[in-house]
Structure 1
């Protein structure tokens, strides 16, 4: 199979190391890749990016397009997936299916990457592909292979230790609480729901990747040392598993140009925020692939209304980044938008969350605690009121609380649970956290530490310099 066309917008500097990135799918995974690629591009490094086709959503396609427009020197390697019979995995999460399709097509990466020009120096892969990509890169191509981990380091410690935990469990591999050495004990209720079932597609992927971690040449972590000191130290010290590869903390990373050239004119979220008093707005967003039930959406609306605070709500009613065509008035009920006119703004459009969280009008972030959101809240100095929905969100919430970024409502409903969180309870908690100066002071301190981490001489600055030096030494 001949490699597809390599797309380039100019000659690269001879002698610079050539690094190929292999991202996965889902904006929560892609955004850290785009940000790290943007950061690395300023270090005299030649970069190619494997673009998996077809992309899952319009948002993904737009962000890839924005990346290659903003950084025209980056090469693009198109990678077409083999067909996958989804009927073999009834009820599987669409992203787990996408990852499985990537993993089953991974053997095609060997000849594809071998044909890259100039010759590659190293590969950086998404963690979801680790167990498939590492053998190809190291055994077939004889190159170094690093893993970019998009979630928290706390979640990485769980992923690394989980195979050991299963090996020591009873013969049926029944999952209960997991005590990760040097980090913390995770209750069964905190774990990603899929891990409760050893036969779940995600569990099989999770375990396979975790078993392959020690063969990687290093990990690039979407965090900074002051945010997760215990988990970082436990991995570096070999407490989680012996001989864990080097870890490089590289966050916080700045965004590239917004994918859809975020509109800032009259009526846009940013223009609306410009008109609001300092720290007066509750920002509500549950990520790019989280959707809650209609009944729960209306309870959130009731809570925002009774809180009496201004709010910016990025509302999503569909899953897996899919386009949402439902009218807001049909979702929120009669009269809500009219009653909230001037006090609240509800949108289904993509917003530049990093810019929102750095806006002085924002005083609280009601979030699912996806890790990108946690880091962005830390950088913006905005307290986070965590309402985990599924997957790694509860694990991230433990790291968020211990890192001083906000408050986790541990008893609020989890995806698949029937309990509705009432509007009254939501409104009261919003008022409580908005008025909590202790929480605000902790987050302000974390913001200072985030800025120090990437400043010259800071921990993330040094990690990036060390990683680039390692690339250039190969």
Structure 2
């Protein structure tokens, strides 16, 4: 008679922003859905609702329940406003250093928790480089979660190792990324400024600490699937020497149980009246900042293109005079002229449900990896509009390697948009026309649909991502039994 495997307890510690917490929740649920695996997520009081709500739904649907451990967040001690527990609440990039300082102060609580609970593994976010030392004290394997694609992880590392930007004489001269399987070119302006300046900076030292802790860790969990970027899954492991498991796309098997409420969303009813592939969806994620003149140019480009659209505009409630604010960023009479043709959603939108709707023909995205992967999983071609983080690398993956997108033409990496670097309405119009009516649109749609099929197969039993997760769980079980 087979002996039942001992329970495996895996603890997840996401960075406290929406784009990191949601995929971590999805990963925790994938682990918890396996036999004899217990999953716990560490969070803070004001971020707890992100995890408790799905748990409430799980009790109704029979989905796995995730345990929640709450740590006190030292906002005041780090010089942050009281009650600030999420970088989305910061007034500007100047406060990000304080936020990181606060997260590092969680070190002591983590150590106490690990010593008391002794879990079998800690999956900690890339932005907690100090977590590797914490786990090593108790001989607990630490896995890193970046939330990046394999291609971005490889691009970031070859740029850090080889500094190819030193081989060009100006900021807008192209350089080739060395060693990697494809010939990919970037300019100095498209990589973080902190990487290309001589002096040490907060961002530069953070990136170096992240890489060092990753090298010392047990390995890396990647929210991607082998068939999407096989050359880079291989390069990351074989050339860069990292242990990695591709277990994505993690959102596919983690559909929100609250589908009925989403189905009633006004925009989905509106989409039901549209022809297949006739509507453009525009959304720049939860953290990207937009300035009024840029939004105005997007509106002008949209109107000139004559295309139907759903446009999600976030972070526009900074002014109390909301009516006055609208007049600034929208051309006068824009909504009246585009009535029936376009829909502006202010705030949250059910992005996955929108992208999966047959009426959506293209996705204008900031190239954050969560959004990019949702576009790929829905089989939708993209207009790429990167802003910061690793988004310029994701643009290259989408437009030049996968060939399922067109760039709008962003030239500069920046967390704070400026009028000087704005994309004009004409460029927006041109990209929209190309993605909807261009010569290569059919080939692009075919490629996007093939990737969609591969994504769904990867997470099914026997698929590459399902098997990678099984292999990881078995490895952790063996590690656990070796310690007994």
Which aligned pairs between 1:277-426 and structure 2 lie closer than 5 A? 277-318=275-316, 326-327=322-323, 329-330=326-327, 331-401=329-399, 402-411=401-410, 414-415=413-414, 416-417=417-418, 418-426=420-428
Query: Aligned-pair distance for 1:26?
Result: 1.8
Unaligned runs of 5+ in 1: 1-12, 56-60
Given that 1:193 and 1:390 are in contact with CA atoms closer than 8 Å, whether structure 2 keeps it comes out as no
Q: Which moved more, 1:408-417 or 1:343-352?
A: 408-417
Equivalent position of 1:123 in the other structure: 122
Query: Quick check: 2:29–2:66 contact (8 Å CA) kept in 1?
Result: no
**C-alpha separation in 2, matches of 1:180 and 1:96:** 31
**Does 2:86 align with 1:84?**
no
3-state SS of 2:122 partner: strand
1 CA distance for matches of 2:424 and 2:143?
Answer: 45
Q: Is the 2:41–2:68 contact (alpha carbons within 8 Å) kept by the matching residues of 1?
A: yes
The separation in 2 between residues aligned to 1:323 and 1:383, in whole angstroms, is: 34
Aligned partners of 1:291 and 1:90: how far apart in 2?
11
Deviation for aligned residue 1:50: 0.3
Q: SS of the counterpart of 2:310?
A: strand
Q: Which moved more, 1:224-233 or 1:18-27?
A: 224-233
Q: Which moved further from structure 2: 329-338 or 155-164?
A: 155-164
Judge conservation of contact 1:25–1:99 (CA < 8 Å) in 2: no
Conserved in 1, the CA contact under 8 Å of 2:383 and 2:405?
yes
Moved more, 253-262 or 203-212: 253-262
**1:272 alignment counterpart:** 270
Q: Which runs of 5+ in 2 are unaligned?
A: 60-64, 82-89
Question: 1:199 maps to what in 2?
Answer: 200
SS at match of 1:277: coil
Query: Which residue, 12, 32, 37 being the options, matches 2:28?
Result: 37
SS at match of 2:78: coil
1:66 corresponds to which residue? 53
CA distance in 2, matches of 1:376, 1:156: 19
User: Any residues of structure 2 matched to 1:422-461 within 5 Å, and which?
Assistant: 422-435=424-437, 436-461=441-466
Q: Determine if contact 2:190/2:411 at 8 Å carries over to the other structure.
A: no
Pair 68,382 (structure 1): closer, same or farther in 2 beyond 3 Å: same
* 8 A contact 1:159–1:207 mirrored in 2: no
SS in 1 for 2:105: helix
Q: TM (normalized to structure 1)?
A: 0.84
| Alignment partners' CA distance in 1, 2:33 and 2:280 | 35
Provide, for residues 162-200 of structure 1, a one-character-per-residue CA deviation record: whole Å limited to 9, x for no partner: 554479989xxx9x9684533556542221344334533
- 1:212-223 to 2 correspondences below 5 Å: 212-223=213-224
Number of equivalenced pairs? 442
Query: 2:287 & 2:321 partners in 1: Cα distance?
Result: 15
Distance 2:165 2:344 in 1: 49
- For residues 389-424 of structure 1, give each alpha carbon's deviation from its aligned partner in whole angstroms, at most 9, with x where no partner exists: 122110111122212331223445653451332223
RMSD (Å) for aligned C-alpha atoms: 3.2
Once residues 195 and 259 of structure 1 are traced to their aligned partners in structure 2, the CA distance between those partners, rounded to angstroms, is 42
- Mapped pair 1:226 → 2:197: no
